[in-house]
Amino acid sequence: MKFSNTLIYWYLQNNRELPWRKSKNPYFIWLSEIMLQQTRVAQGLSYYLKFTEAFPTVFDLAKADESTVLKMWQGLGYYSRARNLHFSAKLIANELNGEFPSTYKEIIKLKGIGDYTASAIASICFNEPTAVVDGNVYRVLSRYFGIFTAINSTAGIKEFKTLAQTLIDEIKPGTYNQAIMDFGALHCKPQNPLCNSCPFSESCIAFEKKLTKELPVKEKKIKVRKRYFNFLVIKTDDNKTILSERKGKGIWQGLYQFPLIESEQIINQEEIIASEKFIDLFPNETTISLFNKKEIIHKLSHQHLYTNFWVVETKKHKKANVSWSKIEDFPVPILIANFLDQFQLKK
DNA sequence: CACGCGTGGGC
DNA sequence: TGCCCAAGCGT
């Protein structure tokens, strides 16, 4: 049987019932695709439900403040997705009359949408035969065809996209695209793929040659940077604290945090108090204590953050801009959200 | 265009 | 435990 037919047949029996699959509304499909970038269905699902309830149309999303969108995105990671989603929602609502672009060529122009997402939306919503290539597709195709070209090399990206495009079902491109991804996620898994019950076991090169574990090939690994974070959790007499938005290019752009003293190594209380930032913030007397007994190691994909939370009690402070009762309104990285949970618990 | 961007789950 | 992985994209 044809590759695509086998896949679609498998899909008809094994597909997952997911809320966005009940619709071909490009707004819903778009939302789901952005949320699922580099994210498991199990992690993204509740966010999808929350977003579609709060923002049933692109106009509702466009009307929201960016900080509200980020707050709702809190915990899902890769926050530029939320900022780009919101940017594009405003563009669609205000400049396109709320009408989602209907071709791959137009869809990919939107901020936050690349080749994968444009292909997914164009095929699922508008029946355009544009093949998706995500992590699942790399795995399925590299194994089935026995391709050792690195999936994250320029040559690999091109080779797999071209191959995927030759395999797509021209009649049901959307179904085909979802089928190959579900097949990769549920059957041709990274570890312990279900080769013994596989509809491709007669023709899969990796299965035949016992190369499943070697494929797909991925080049080089990322190096992890170590950073040392000291957050100053301020409690003033009038029950306020200081939060500020992270600007610029690095991690957590648009999210809020406590005043941060970053150091090259682990530093102790004396060094905190002696630091320029601390003196600038607290020229007068304060009480300082370390909240966490052991330093918290927060692991991002490419940074390890060795973190201490220092509770600083002080008199009224002119820079204290946030009431403790309002602190939950601010979008914060999960590292800080977890701290706040612990901190509020102890009170 | 190689790199930076989060978080959580699985083994 | 440490490492890899997960419906990628912007710069």
State the pLDDT at residue A195.
95
Q: Give the Cα separation of A11 and A176 in Å (integer).
A: 8
> What's residue A345's pLDDT?
83
The nucleotide closest to A253 (CA, C1' atoms) = B5
Nucleotides of B under 7 A from a protein CB: 1-11
A33 is catalytic: yes
Q: Which residues pair with A306 in a beta bridge?
A: A228, A297
**Which residues make up the interface with nucleic strand B when CB must lie under 7 A?**
A 38-40, 42-43, 75-80, 153-154, 191-192, 220, 222-223, 249-253, 298-303, 333-335
pLDDT at A84: 98
Q: Does residue A220 surpass a pLDDT of 80?
A: no
Task: Give chain A's mean pLDDT.
Answer: 95
- Distance measured from the CA of protein residue A302 to the C1' of nucleotide B2, in angstroms: 14
CB A89, CB A58: distance < 8 Å: yes
Please answer whether residues A164 and A132 qualify as being in contact, where contact means their C-beta atoms are separated by less than 8 angstroms: yes
Write down the pLDDT at residue A266: 86
For chain A, the structural domain boundaries read 3-214, 225-346
DSSP A192: S
Query: Measured in angstroms, what separates residue A283's CA from nucleotide C11's C1'?
Result: 41
Nucleotides on chain C that have an atom closer than 7 A to a protein CB are 3-10
Mean pLDDT of A229-239: 96
What's residue A347's pLDDT?
A: 66
What distance in Å separates the CA atoms of residue A58 and residue A336, rounded to the nearest whole number? 30
pLDDT of residue A48: 98
Q: CA of A347 vs C1' of C10, distance in Å? A: 42
List, for residues A1-31, the tens digit of each pLDDT value: 799 999 999 999 999 999 999 999 999 999 9
The set of residues, in sequence order, having a beta carbon less than 8 Å from that of A232 and lying 6+ positions away, is: A242, A258, A259, A260, A261, A272, A278, A281, A310, A312
Q: What is the pLDDT of residues A125-159, one digit of tens each?
A: 999 999 999 999 999 999 999 999 999 999 999 99
List C-alpha distances in Å: A10 to A118, A167, A182, A188, A257.
25, 16, 10, 12, 47
pLDDT at A264: 84
In CATH, what class is A225-346? alpha beta
- CATH code: domain A3-214 is 1.10.340.30
- Residue A233 pLDDT level (bands cut at 50, 70, 90): very high
Report percent pLDDT > 90 for chain A. Answer: 93
pLDDT of residue A43: 96
pLDDT in tens, A282-323: 988 789 999 998 999 999 999 999 999 999 999 999 999 999
**For chain A, what percent of residues have pLDDT higher than 70?**
100
